[in-house]
Amino acid sequence: MLASSSESAGIVIRAWPLDFIATKRRENAVTVAFSIILIITSLLMILLVLLHKGKGGGLSDLFGGGISSSLGSSSVVERNLDRITVFTGIIWFISIVVLGILKK
């Protein structure tokens, strides 16, 4: 319904600007939600990458990663850390793509 008129007052009330405003509010809410997801996943990615065992041990040695590195094999914790990092990276990438599409 693009326009409706009130017969008693002779005033024409247009509904489409209100629909446009409601649509923009929804788009803004989605943009804010994906921005929050992007910030959280970015911080989580920084933390997860720093926890990975590097060639020199790195920051993961502070949390006990140095003990398992002498065993020569990948532990369950390292494999789970890899899976969580990949999953977080996928969510991070998707949120960037969605924000790019919404900003167009």
Does pLDDT of 54 surpass 60?
A: yes
> Using an 8 Å Cβ cutoff, are 78 and 86 in contact?
no
Boundaries of domain holding 19: 3-103
pLDDT band per the 50, 70, 90 thresholds, residue 86 = very high
At residue 25, the pLDDT reads 78
**What number is the average pLDDT over the span 34-56?**
89
Q: What percent of the chain has pLDDT over 70?
A: 59
**What number is the average pLDDT over the span 2-18?**
57
Does pLDDT of 64 surpass 90?
A: no
> Using an 8 Å Cβ cutoff, are 69 and 81 in contact?
no
Window from 8-12, 36-40, 93-97 with minimum mean pLDDT: 8-12
HEC secondary structure over 8-54: CCCEEEECHHHHHHHHHHHHHHHHHHHHHHHHHHHHHHHHHHHHCCE
At residue 31, the pLDDT reads 92
At residue 52, the pLDDT reads 83
Residue 96's nearest CA partner among 35, 47, 43, 29 is 35
Does pLDDT of 15 surpass 70?
A: no
What does the longest C-alpha to C-alpha distance in the chain come to?
Answer: 87
Question: How many domains does the chain divide into?
Answer: 1
